[in-house]
Chain A
Amino acid sequence: MNYADKFKKTFFTENPVTGMLLGMCPTLAVTSSAENGIGMGLATTFVLMGSNLVISLLRNIIPARVRIPAFIVVIATFVTIVDMGLQATLFELHKTLGLFIPLIVVNCIILGRAEAFASKNSVLQSFIDGLFNGLGFTFSLFILGTIREILGSGAILGMTFIPENFRTVLLFVLAPGAFITLGFMLVGMNRISKALGGK
């Protein structure tokens, strides 16, 4: 496997969020700050690596007819692990991400990779595919979270850098800001992808 090529694909040209428009709900919902974006991204990466690994191991055992329900059970298992793990270790983050942790189950990226990659490729390759796609997702969430945090609350990773009585555009941490920022980010990412020679 060519890692440089894989990196270019999962981070830019075929990035789950900006290239494929998958996993929109968590992307918009949890990116009011960069930190939440990273938290959500890494939780999803863990589920993606785990489910890709297990599904690839079982790829010759699962009958083709019932593969989707079988994949969902595997994914839901890992989501439950993440849910409980976060609640035990990072309680604050668990509280902020809230509903969107159980909803990792219906994140189309995970089922998409299971169906398109893990069910057809070797265990190691599927694991790496999960890692790269997860990090590509995290990357998009991090960028979106950073932009919204800078514009909306004048901070980077929770550290305020603007004068105290300077007014920020609160809109960007609220719902409309999520849609609008992502819209402009897609434009930027499309440009970069084009420059890199994708689609």
Chain B
Amino acid sequence: MAEMALIIVGAIFVNNVVFTKFLGICPYLGVSKKIDTAVGMSMAVVFVLTLAGAITYILQYYVLVPIKMEYLQTIVFILVIASLVQLVEIVMKKVAPALYKALGIFLPLITTNCAILGIAILSVQSNYNFLLTVVFSFASAIGFGVALILFAGIRETLEIREVPKVFAGAPIALIIAGILAMAFMGFAGMVK
């Protein structure tokens, strides 16, 4: 239980996916202009990342390891994640149309989110068991959501401020992300 709590706090604050692991930067910069879209993206990531963590665990330990084909990990994982996203989209459209509408365009975008593949590979490298893999994937996704929504909040207020022309757009966003990352460094050392 204590191990689980450490993993959760560690993944959300101390080793945040965006700020210390540098995963999922593309959607982090891309869909952070409004809080609404940031919330939608975060929900989609939490859903897919948790599912992908569970499925890649099963694949790794019940398919790849028994047939001694661990070196195919990259190819197998990325294909499974890409098809998983499609499958989730189709199933969700039928079963939960309201949720599908809310997540809408964010689902297909997730395939290119390197946090999904990154966290799946990290869980395997950390030798987590099934339960810990799911908890770690879920907490990492929450960490991504926290970082994204905080950032979107700042960018929304930035819209109405006057930024020097050369800094407008991506440069100022990156500098703000840097300052946020500095704030998150305050958590460093809390959990190993």
Quick check: is A123 within 8 A (CB to CB) of the other chain? no
Quick check: is B73 within 8 A (CB to CB) of the other chain? yes
CA distance A69 to B79 in the complex (A): 7
Once the chains bind, are B23 and A180 in contact (CB under 8 Å)? no
- Closest Cβ of chain A to B1, distance in Å, is 28
- Known contacts A73-B75, A76-B74, A175-B185: does B178 contact A187 (CB below 8 Å)? no
Tell me how many residues of B have a C-beta within 8 Å of chain A: 40
CB within 8 A of B174: which of A69, A107, A182?
A182
CA distance A102 to B117 in the complex (A): 9
CA distance A80 to B76 in the complex (A): 11
Tell me how many residues of A have a C-beta within 8 Å of chain B: 40
Task: Name the residue of chain A whose CB is nearest to the CB of B86.
Answer: A69
Quick check: is B61 within 8 A (CB to CB) of the other chain? no
Quick check: is A121 within 8 A (CB to CB) of the other chain? no
Task: Name the residue of chain B whose CB is nearest to the CB of A112.
Answer: B112
Quick check: is B59 within 8 A (CB to CB) of the other chain? no
Quick check: is B66 within 8 A (CB to CB) of the other chain? no
CB within 8 A of B79: which of A72, A99, A187?
A72
List residues of A (163-179) whose CB comes within 8 Å of B's CBs.
171, 174-179
Once the chains bind, are A183 and B78 in contact (CB under 8 Å)? no
CA distance A108 to B23 in the complex (A): 13
